[in-house]
Amino acid sequence: MDVVDTPTPELQPMSLGLYDLVHFALMAAGFALFAYLLYTWASREEVGRRYRPALYAGLCLAAVATVSYLVLFLKWDTGFTLTDGVYEPNAEARFTGSTRYPDWAVTVPLLTVELLAVCSLAGRRARNLRATTVTAAFLMILTGYFGAQVVADGRDRTALVVWGLVSTAFFGYLAVALIGAVRASLPHMGTEAAVSLRNATIVLLSSFGVYPLVYAIPVFADATPAWAATVQVAYSTADVIAKVGFGLLVHKVALLRTAEDVRAGEDTHPEPVWVSHVHESDGVLPELGRVSPAAAATLRGEHHHGEHHHDEHHHGEHRGHGATRTAPERT
Residues 270-299 that bind its own copies (CB under 8 A): 270-274, 276-279, 282-299
Contact yes or no for 157/219 (Cβ under 8 A): yes
Binding pattern for the stretch 28-47 against its own copies, x by CB under 8 A and - elsewhere: x--xx-xxx-xx-xxxx-x-
Hey, is 112 helix, strand or coil? Answer: helix
Instruction: Report the candidate in 179, 186, 183, 140 with the shortest Cα–Cα distance to residue 163.
Output: 140
Interaction of residue 263 with its own copies, rule CB under 8 A = no
Interaction of residue 183 with its own copies, rule CB under 8 A = no
Near its own copies by CB under 8 A, which window of 98-106, 168-176, 202-210, 218-226? 98-106
Interaction of residue 222 with its own copies, rule CB under 8 A = no
Contact yes or no for 243/100 (Cβ under 8 A): no
6, 81, 206, 224: which one binds its own copies (CB under 8 A): 81
Interaction of residue 13 with its own copies, rule CB under 8 A = no
Contact yes or no for 117/54 (Cβ under 8 A): yes
d(CA 199, CA 204): 9
C-beta of 220: minimal distance to its own copies in Å? 23
59, 200, 250, 259: which one binds its own copies (CB under 8 A): 59
d(CA 27, CA 20): 10
Hey, is 87 helix, strand or coil? Answer: strand
Dihedral over alpha carbons 41, 287, 318, 326 (to 10 degrees): 0
Near its own copies by CB under 8 A, which window of 92-100, 160-168, 205-213, 219-227? 92-100
Smaller CB separation from its own copies, 162 or 220: 162
Interaction of residue 101 with its own copies, rule CB under 8 A = yes
Instruction: Report the candidate in 125, 114, 104, 118 with the shortest Cα–Cα distance to residue 167.
Output: 104
Smaller CB separation from its own copies, 54 or 204: 54
**Contacts with 308 (C-beta within 8 Å, 6 or more apart), sequence order:** none
Per rule CB under 8 A, count of chain residues that contact its own copies: 115
Interaction of residue 50 with its own copies, rule CB under 8 A = yes
Near its own copies by CB under 8 A, which window of 53-61, 160-168, 174-182, 200-208? 53-61
**Contacts with 117 (C-beta within 8 Å, 6 or more apart), sequence order:** 51, 53, 54, 57, 250, 254
Instruction: Report the candidate in 304, 263, 314 with the shortest Cα–Cα distance to residue 284.
Output: 263
Q: Hey, which residues between 129 and 168 contact its own copies (CB under 8 A)?
A: 130, 145, 149-153
C-beta of 310: minimal distance to its own copies in Å? 11
Near its own copies by CB under 8 A, which window of 26-34, 165-173, 208-216, 218-226? 26-34
